Structures are given as structure tokens and as C-alpha cells.
């Protein structure tokens, strides 16, 4: 059997017709013949039949009925029927329904039938190639869609990574810009706040040198006091800068313990008594509610009160009174610091605890104002899990209230 030749099935109930068909076309096609529809169906199950030709009039089933069955089992095969003129109506109906490719009238002509079969084979192979190409195209489209989906997913991932990197860069740039601004502000602040006491030190030293041995004891003491005062102010500025730098880098270290907050506050008050006396300011201290213990960090309380009291003295006029009270109950503490200075405007309150904030009030004796004190206080109050509020103004002055809960860590 030549594998290059098309496979043709011819079904007829007359042996003579089968023999004649086989003899006529055996060199042109791989010819398969069957004496009945049953034999034809068996051949269809086992052979790659491309064209089916059947006689219309057979004893068990008609040719059209056989082709209807063949359409189910071999839908791709080209189906044709041999018929006389008496069967034309049935054949035409079968063609219209798609059961039959075409019909051939009896008796058939060898050359004409050969041309019809060749055309049917070409149609079969064109349809098969078209089907193969469509299947290949479908597989290609599926692979292409998969590739596109994978690339799209990869591009989205890279885009998300790039967007995340861009956000990180933008955030870092903002942080660098903010740090540069703070650095510039810090340098300007340090230059302004340190310039005056340094000039005072240089002036005192120059004055002493010019007077040389003629410098009296009183002049020497005055120069010493000037130098000490200026040095103390420089030290205060540097301590605030270093303290805030430590807070921002490492946070506030707290070590809660049982303590008497009133004793800590009294110690701070004593430390500021000399400055208060110099400015003619009275400091009133009050323990509210009698003796009480709190559970908090002693160094934190001391830092909070020290800065609040320093600010109160700095902005209070001569003859004013600064009041500070402490109440301890159930491990918690409330500290209230009130002064008789100019207080704070609404604009001041908006950035009360902001680092390097410049407020409207001016110190009453030319004291340095770094804009760091309240920021440091806020950091410590937060670390001690407390709150700090500025009470609404009633006349002149400012009243800060610090609420510190009992710490259990």
C-alpha cells in the first residue's frame, strides 16, 4: 500500500461493482471496498479514510443513511453517493443538510469520477491542513498569551520595585533636606546664642589685660562673675544641643522606681534659687495633698521640671512670682508650673513643642533662647508615658500641667 496515495472507501452490495472500482482506481488511490454498511463502518474504525463513496440503494441501509453514521464517526472524511435519477430528491436533501459532499450519477464515467475523487481528496487535505494550522495557531496564541502574561507580571513587579525605590529615594531626599535645614538652623542658632556670651568673656579678658596690675579686687570679681555667667549660658546651650541629639539618636532611657516627686522638684527649685534671686523673682513651691509616692523615672522628672522652671524664670519680669506644685497619688504625679510672663499667642501654641521654634515672647534679662527646651520636655514627658498641656490663658503668664502615670515597666 502506497502511503502517499489517498485512502478511498467504496461501499456497494454488488461484488462486480466493487471489483470494477478497485481495478479502475487501484493505481491512483489506496482503495478499500465493503459489501455492506457494517463492513464499511469497520474499515472506517481502522483505516485513515479520506473519501467515502457509497451506492445509494443497498438492502440494509441506504447510502445516505450510511453516510449519516459515517459523519459521526469520521466527520472530517469527504462523503459522496452513487445514485440513479430516481433517488435525486433524497440525495439533494442530504447535500442540503451537509450529510453528502456531492452525488455521482450511474453509470459513472472513469475520467469524470477520477476528477471528482481528486477534487474531494484535495478538499479533504485542504481542510485537514487548515485544521492543523488553526490548532497550531491556537497553541501559539495560548503560548503567546502566557508569555505576555508572564512578561506583564514581570514588568509590573519591576515597576512596583522601581516605584518603591523611587518613593524611598524621595523620602530620603526629604529627610536629607529636612536634616540640612535643621543643621542650618542649628548653626545659625548656635552662632547667635553663643556669640553674645563669648563676646562678654572676651571683653572681660581684654578689660583685665588692659587694666593689668591696676585691676582692683572688685573689678576682678566683676570680671570673674561675667565670665562665669557667660560660660554658664554657653554650657546651657551646648547641653541642650547634646541632650536633644542624644534623644533623637537613642531615645530617652527611663528607669522607673518608687520616688517622692516633691523632693525632686524641691531639689530643682534650689538649683534655680540663685538665678531667681538675681532677677528678683519669687519661687513658690507647694506639695498638694500631703506626702505621696509616685512610680516613674527620677532623672526624667528632674529634666522636665528643670526646663519648665528655667523658661518660667527666663520670661518672668522682675518682682514676679513663679508657682510650682506637685501632687502624688496612686503612683501617678501631677506637676504644675505657672509664671507671670507674657504667655503664648495662638501662633505660638501651634508650634509650642516644635524643635527650634521661635516664639513671640522675649526673655526679660537678655537670656539665651535656643528653642529646644519645650521640645526636650515633650520628648521626656512622652517617654514617661505622660501628657503635657498649656492651660488656656487667664491674664498674663503661662501655666504648664504635666500628668505622669504610674509606670509599670
335-348 tens-digit pLDDT: 999 998 888 888 88
Question: What SS3 class is residue 81?
Answer: strand
* pLDDT value of residue 289: 85
Q: What average pLDDT does the structure give for the chain?
A: 82
Write the pLDDT tens digit of every residue in 189-209: 555 555 556 666 665 566 555
Residues near 16 by beta carbon (within 8 Å), at least 6 away in sequence: none
Are 94 and 54 in contact by the 8 Å Cβ rule? The answer is no
> What confidence score (pLDDT) does residue 220 get?
58
Q: What letter does residue 331 receive in the DSSP assignment?
A: B
Quickly state the pLDDT bin for 104 (edges 50, 70, 90).
confident
Residue 385 has pLDDT above 60, yes or no: yes
Long-range contacts of 393-398 (CB under 8 A, 24+ apart): 393/343, 393/344, 396/340, 396/341, 396/342, 396/343, 397/338, 397/339, 397/340, 397/341, 397/343, 398/312, 398/315, 398/338, 398/339, 398/341, 398/343, 398/344
Please report, rounded to a whole number, the percentage of residues in the chain having pLDDT higher than 70: 77
Q: Which pTM does this prediction carry?
A: 0.49
Residue 361: pLDDT over 80 = no
Largest pairwise CA distance in the chain: 157
Q: Cα dist. 227→210, 224, 234, 310, 314 in Å?
A: 16, 5, 10, 20, 19
pLDDT at 239: 59
pLDDT of residue 388 exceeding 90? yes
Higher pLDDT among residues 99 and 43, named by residue:
43
98/321: higher pLDDT: 321
At 268-282, the pLDDT tens digits run: 999 898 889 988 999
- Whether 129 shows a pLDDT value over 70: the answer reads yes
Residue 174: which pLDDT band, with cuts at 50, 70 and 90? Answer: confident
Q: For the segment 210-265, what is each residue's pLDDT rounded down to a tens digit?
A: 655 555 665 556 555 555 555 555 555 555 566 666 666 667 888 888 888 889 99
- Are the beta carbons of 63 and 56 closer than 8 angstroms? yes
Return the pLDDT at 219: 59
pLDDT in tens, 301-357: 999 999 999 988 888 899 899 999 999 988 899 999 999 888 888 888 888 888 777
Q: Give the SS3 label for residue 2.
A: coil
* Check whether domain 7-108 has CATH 3.40.50.2300, yes or no: yes
CB atoms within 10 A of CB 11: 30
| Contacts (Cβ under 8 Å, ≥6 apart) of 138 | none
Q: If you ran DSSP here, which 8-state letter would residue 47 be given? A: S
| All structural domains of the chain with their residue ranges | 7-108, 256-404
Q: Do 5 and 29 touch, CB atoms closer than 8 A?
A: yes
The C-alpha atoms of residue 360 and residue 378 are separated, in whole angstroms, by 20
**256-404: which CATH number, 2.40.37.10, 3.30.565.10, 3.40.50.300, 3.40.50.150?**
3.30.565.10
| Selection from 234, 236, 168 nearest residue 199 by Cα | 234
Q: What pLDDT is stored for residue 231 in this prediction?
A: 57
Q: Can you give the pLDDT at residue 208?
A: 58
Amino acid at each position: 500500500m502506497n502511503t502517499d496515495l489517498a485512502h478511498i472507501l467504496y461501499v456497494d452490495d454488488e461484488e462486480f461493482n466493487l471489483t470494477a472500482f478497485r481495478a479502475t482506481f487501484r493505481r491512483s488511490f489506496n482503495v478499500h471496498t465493503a459489501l455492506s454498511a457494517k463492513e464499511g463502518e469497520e474499515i472506517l474504525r481502522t483505516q485513515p479514510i479520506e473519501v467515502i463513496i457509497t451506492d445509494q440503494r443497498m438492502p440494509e441501509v441506504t447510502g445516505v443513511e450510511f453516510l449519516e453514521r459515517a459523519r459521526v464517526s469520521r466527520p472530517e472524511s469527504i462523503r459522496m453517493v452513487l445514485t440513479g435519477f430516481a433517488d435525486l430528491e433524497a440525495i439533494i436533501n442530504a447535500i442540503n443538510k451537509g450529510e453528502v459532499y456531492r452525488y455521482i450519477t450511474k453509470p459513472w464515467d472513469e475520467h469524470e469520477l477520477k476528477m471528482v475523487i481528486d477534487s474531494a481528496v484535495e478538499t479533504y487535505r485542504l481542510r485537514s491542513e487548515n485544521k492543523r494550522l488553526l490548532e497550531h495557531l491556537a497553541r501559539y496564541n495560548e503560548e503567546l498569551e502566557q508569555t505576555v502574561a508572564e512578561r506583564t507580571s514581570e514588568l509590573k513587579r519591576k515597576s512596583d520595585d522601581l516605584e518603591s525605590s523611587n518613593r524611598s529615594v524621595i523620602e530620603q531626599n526629604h529627610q536629607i533636606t529636612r536634616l540640612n535645614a535643621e543643621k542650618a538652623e542649628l548653626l545659625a542658632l548656635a552662632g547667635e546664642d553663643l556669640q553674645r556670651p563669648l563676646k562678654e568673656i572676651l571683653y572681660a579678658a581684654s578689660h583685665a589685660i588692659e587694666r593689668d596690675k591696676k585691676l582692683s579686687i572688685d573689678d576682678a570679681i566683676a570680671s570673674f562673675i561675667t565670665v562665669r555667667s557667660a560660660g554658664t549660658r554657653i554650657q546651657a546651650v551646648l547641653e541642650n544641643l547634646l541632650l536633644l541629639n542624644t534623644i533623637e539618636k537613642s531615645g530617652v532611657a527611663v528607669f522607673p522606681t518608687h520616688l517622692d516627686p516633691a523632693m525632686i522638684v524641691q531639689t530643682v527649685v534650689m538649683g534655680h534659687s540663685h538665678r531667681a534671686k538675681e532677677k528678683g523673682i519669687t519661687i513658690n513651691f507647694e506639695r498638694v495633698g500631703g506626702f505621696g509616692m509616685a512610680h516613674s523615672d527620677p532623672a526624667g522628672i528632674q529634666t522636665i521640671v528643670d526646663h519648665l522652671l528655667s523658661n518660667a524664670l527666663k520670661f518672668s519680669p522682675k518682682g514676679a512670682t513663679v508657682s510650682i506644685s506637685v501632687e502624688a497619688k496612686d503612683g501617678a504625679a501631677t506637676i504644675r508650673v505657672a509664671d507671670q510672663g507674657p504667655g503664648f499667642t495662638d501662633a505660638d501654641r501651634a508650634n509650642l513643642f516644635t524643635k527650634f521654634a521661635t516664639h513671640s515672647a522675649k526673655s526679660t534679662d537678655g537670656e539665651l533662647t535656643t528653642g529646644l527646651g519645650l521640645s526636650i520636655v515633650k520628648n521626656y514627658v512622652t517617654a514617661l508615658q505622660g501628657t503635657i498641656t498649656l492651660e488656656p490663658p487667664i491674664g498674663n503668664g503661662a501655666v504648664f500641667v504635666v500628668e505622669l502615670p504610674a509606670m509599670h515597666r
